Amino acid sequence: MMLMCPQKRFVSLLFPITLIALLFSANLQAQSKKSTSSKKAVSKKSATQAKDARKGKSAKDTKKEQLAKKKGKADKSTAKKLTPKELRRQKELDAREARNNKKSSKKTAEARRIEAERRREAEARRQAALAEQRRREQAAREARERRLAFERGLRTTTVDNIAKDDQSGEDLNVRHAAVNALGGHAGTVVVMEAKTGKILTIVNQDWAIRDSFKPCSTIKLVTGVGGLNENIIDTEGHITNSSTRMPLDYALAKSNNGYFQRVGINMGSAKMVQYARMLGLGERTGINADGETPGKVPFNNNNARIYSHGDDFAVTPLQLAVLVSSLSNGGKKVVPQINRQRVERTAMTPQIQRQVSLPQRSIEGVLPGMIGAAEFGTAHRGVDASMGVAGKTGSCIERGSWVGLFASVAPVEDPKYSVVVITRGQSERGKYAAAIAGKVYQALSPQIHRNRDLLYARQLKIKPVFETAAAGEADEGEDADTADNGDQPAPIIVGSQPRTTVAAVPQQAEPKKMVQKTVQSQPVLGPVIIQYDRSGAEKKTRPRIVTNE
C-alpha cells in the first residue's frame, strides 16, 4: 500500500484538479455574463438618455416623470383602497382647495387692481400738484412782471414829465441838485423859499401841481395842531384824560399812530376837516400855473385812520410845502410863485394868502416833534439834523403802490427853504423820501446858516427829559403807517437821544382799539364860528372851532 503505483497516484490527484478547474471555469463564465448584462444596461441607459436629450429632456426631468408615474400609480392604488365616504371627503377637500385657489387668485387680481388704481390716483394727485405749482409760479411771474412793468411805467412817466417841465423862472442849480437827488425814483420834488413862497424848482410839475396823493403820516401835523388848540393835548404834550403819558414831541418823531388816533377821536372829524382847511389842505395854493388840483378832505368820515394815516385825504406837494412853511412862519400862509416872466422877476413880492387864526402855541407846538424826527426819529438816517431840518415822514399804500413822503423846512428857527418829496413804487417809504430831501439840503447848505440863540428863544428844542409814566404806545416808525403795532412801554428821551427805561412799567388795561371800519355817517358839519376873547387868560384868548356836534 505504501508503495502504490505512480499511475494510481496520478489518477487520484487528477480528479480534484479537474473539479477545481470546472468550478473556476463556471465562475469565469458567470462574471462574463454579468459584465455583459451591465454593459448592455449602460448602453441601453445611454441610448435612452440620448433619446431624451434629442427630445429636449434632461436626465433630471426624466427622473421626475418616472417619480410622477410611480406616484400616480401609488395614488391610484391608494384611491382604489379608499372607501366611498373617504372618496367624497377627498373630493370635497379638492373642491374646497380649488375654490380657495380661485378666491385667492381673485383677491390677488383685486389687490393688483386696487394697487394700480392707487398708483393712478397718486400720479393724478402728483400731476395736479405739479400743475398747481406751475400755475402759481406762472401767476407769481405774471404778478412780478406786472409790478416791474408798473414800476417801469412810473419811472418812465417821471422821466417824460421831467423832460416836459417848464424850467423858466427856476434856479437851475437847485433844479439840477433836485433831479440828481431824485435819481431813479419815480416822484416829485418841490423846493420853495419858506418865507416868500418863491419856487426855486419843481421837478415833475405834472405830479406836483396837477396830481394829488394820500398824505399818510404827514397828516399827523394837522392832528397835532388841532389837538393843541382844543386842549386835548396839554402843555406837556400829554393827552388829557388818558392813561398814556407819551408826549407829542416823541409821538411825532416816532410817527405813533395810536397817539394821534386818540387825539382825533376826542376832537372829531368835523373839526379835523376845519383845521386841515385852515392849514391849506383841500384848496388850491394859488400858484401861477395851470391845472392846479385842490385835493380833498374827508367829509363825513369818522374812521380813526383819518387822524393818523390820512385816509380819504388827497394833498399836493405844494400844499405840504405851504403847510410846513406856515407852521415855521408863525401861521403865515405864503402863496407859491414861479418867476416865469421878466416883469414877475423884477416886481415879485412875497404874497401872504392869509394868517392862520391860531395862537403860536398851537401852531409851533408840533415843531419840536418835527425836529425830533430828523434828530432821532423816522427821518434821522436821511437828513443832517445839524442843518436844522424839521420834517415829517409818511409811508402808506395808495393806488396799488407804496407812497413815501417827506415835508420839511430848514433851518427851523429861521426857515429859509421848504423841501417836499413824494415818491411812488413798491420799495418807496418815507425814510427814502427824507434821504432825497437830505441830498437837496446838502446842495443848499452854503445858503443855510443856523442861529441857535433864536432856536432857544423860540423854545423849539425838545424838552431835555420826558418820560412815559405808563405803558401805552409803541414806536411804530416810518413803515408803520399801514397798521397799528399794539401798545408797548415807550422809552425815555434825554435830550435828543432815546434810551430805554430800566425799571419795569406796570401793565395797563388794554386800550380801546383805535382803527375802525370806514363808514359813511350823516353830515355833522354845521356853521363854523370863530370865537375870540381878547381879555381873558391864555385858554380864553385861543380861538376855537365850534360846530353843531
Spatial separation of the C-alpha atoms in residues 169 and 88, rounded to whole Å: 123
What was the pLDDT predicted at 300?
86
The pLDDT tens digits of the residues spanning 389-404 come to 999 999 999 988 899 9
Which stretches does DSSP call E strand in 329-416? Answer: 332-334, 352-355, 390-398, 401-410
Record the pTM: 0.66
Mean predicted lDDT score pLDDT of the chain: 78
CATH value of 167-521 in 2.40.50.140, 3.40.710.10, 3.40.50.261, 3.40.50.150: 3.40.710.10
The average pLDDT across 433-439 equals 97
pLDDT at 502 over 70: no
Spatial separation of the C-alpha atoms in residues 196 and 334, rounded to whole Å: 6
- Residue 309: closest CA among 229, 371, 228, 393: 393
What was the pLDDT predicted at 146?
86
pLDDT at 477 over 80: no
Longest Cα separation, the chain: 201
The pLDDT tens digits of the residues spanning 31-42 come to 666 666 555 555
- CB-hemisphere CA count at 13 Å for 404? 27
The average pLDDT across 295-304 equals 91
Domain ranges across the chain: 76-164, 167-521
Task: Report which residue type is found at 196.
Answer: T
Backbone angles phi, psi at 391, to 5 degrees: -160, 180
Stronger pLDDT, 457 or 257, i.e. the higher one: 257
The pLDDT tens digits of the residues spanning 345-364 come to 445 566 666 788 889 889 99
Backbone angles phi, psi at 341, to 5 degrees: -110, 155
